Copies of this chain bind each other. A is one copy, B any other.
Amino acid sequence: MRKVSAAVLARLPRYYQILADLRERGREFVSSEHLGRLLGVDDSLVRKDLSGVVSGVQRVGYHVPTTVARIEEVLGLANAKEAFLVGAGSLGRALLRYTGFEQYGLKIVAAFDGDPALIGSRIANTPVLCLGEFEDMVRRMKIRMGIITVPAAAAQEVADRMVRSGMMAIWNFAPVALVAPPDVIVRNENLAAGLSLICYELQGKMQSDLSGEGAGPGGGGRL
């Protein structure tokens, strides 16, 4: 297993998304130049990134289905991963209904919540179980991955329970930075991070629009 630098690893899901989309549309080959344009990076960087993943074809480019398959191998998307989700609120329900994770090998086998009104029901065909049974079920079903969709205030406690029950990976959607032992994989998803960056750019744009804005390349964008 060749290892991949952190910078490349961060871009690999974007390559994957774009290439899977191209494959869907029946595209067979794509050049580094074209891929670079879609990703907003230099063609040289595309060739360097992919050099550790797949072999291109001289004069033709990269074979789309092969490249998709190789990225799946490198990222480990091929092997199925079962997960438990904790928190059947609106975000939890949205993730349960979202079909896009199947492609990534994720199967959410059960959801857990403390609300008695939800327990026993099914969301997108996934059963909602009592939070009290959580640790026990994790051990019995040997589930290694937990998804957190509870409010911020409850998230750390849920994470602690996941760690205690032996889970290896935590995917956290609550807006807090969770802490866990170093041998547990924690990924803190921050839905508002992207929004912040839009706000920042929007702010810059409003100001340059106000103050006359020279007719730079790309057009002024007044509308």
Contact = CB atoms under 8 A, between A and B. Distances in A.
A190 B104 CA distance: 12
A97 B75 CA distance: 32
A90 B93 contact: yes
Contacts of A183: 218-221
B145 A14 contact: no
B176 A21 contact: yes
B195 A101 contact: yes
A145 B76 CA distance: 36
User: In the assembly, how many copies of this chain are there?
Assistant: 2
A200 to B, nearest CB: 5
Interface in A145-204: 145, 152, 166, 168-169, 171, 175-177, 179, 181-185, 187, 189-204
B223 A166 contact: yes
Contacts of A12: 196
Contacts of A194: 171, 187, 189
Given A93-B90, A219-B183, A221-B183, A81 B202 contact: yes
Contacts of A76: 199-200, 202-204
A9 interface: yes
A116 interface: no
Nearest to A40: B177
Interface of A: 1, 4, 9-10, 12-14, 16-18, 21, 38-39, 74-77, 79, 81, 90-91, 93-94, 97-98, 100-101, 103-106, 144-145, 152, 166, 168-169, 171, 175-177, 179, 181-185, 187, 189-205, 207, 218-221, 223
